[in-house]
Amino acid sequence: MTEPRPSLRARLARHPALLRPLAWPLSLWIGTATDPRRWRIDGREELAAALAQGPVILVLWHEHIALVARHWPHRAGPITNVHGEAPIARLAGQVQARFGPRPVALGGTGLAATRLVMGRLKAGTSIGLAADGPRGPRRVVRDPPLDWARASGVPVFLYAAAPERGRRLASWDRLVWPAPFTGGAALFRRWEARIPRRPDEAARAALKADMGRALTAMSDIVEARAVERGGRAG
């Protein structure tokens, strides 16, 4: 009897070197699709001003992870993007690394992960992560953004973006995948909520809901701007 062939995910997990040949064409695609010269990017001046004082935590919905790498103001300060250990997450990290971010794979969100993140922040490197990553549910804020912001005390910035041309993939996060050479709209905005030193469960739930509403509102803003820009270009 013929043994069933392992899935692509299983083959990539067993042979991580297979990821490297995939990273180059994906990097080329993302590089042409998110070129800042063709995008309207608001809020980078405020972000750069904050980075002049020290690192920040950048939070976004997982659906926007393909868009952010070229929009970060790398001259203003380095960033480490946190991702999961799944093969596709490692591939995303390799693609982002070609544009400046320093990716790191974390197997969990416990004490070891917190120590690593705190060490990067203490060294002056900002941290980027998906609020609903690495596996969802979609657009539901998990604990790490709040835990790491509370433990570090650094400012928190949010990010959202939308291409003028592109599509959403049939993934759990409905990943936004931009078309090559498209323009678009992106937005960085400081999250102004105050996190108590020891928030109870009700306070944590309220803070996560507030962050989720802010990220979704920003997503709506950039999607409207991208539609407007695309209409003018047409």
Over residues 141-166, the pLDDT tens digits come to 999 999 999 999 999 999 999 999 99
Rounded CA-CA distance 72/4 in Å is 43
pLDDT over 60 at 12, yes or no: no
Over residues 203-230, the pLDDT tens digits come to 999 999 999 999 999 999 999 999 999 8
Do the Cβ atoms of 113 and 134 come closer than 8 Å?
no
Tokens of 209: 């809901």
Residues in Cβ contact with 124 at an 8 Å cutoff, skipping those fewer than 6 apart: 54, 55, 77, 78
Rounded CA-CA distance 21/152 in Å is 37
Domains with residue ranges and CATH for the chain: 8-233 (3.40.1130)
pTM across the whole model: 0.89
Peptide bond into 6 cis (omega under 30): no
For 6, other C-beta atoms within 10 Å of its C-beta total 11
Question: DSSP letter at 165?
Answer: S
Over residues 13-59, the pLDDT tens digits come to 555 566 677 788 889 999 999 999 999 999 999 999 999 999 999 99
Model pLDDT, residue 213: 98
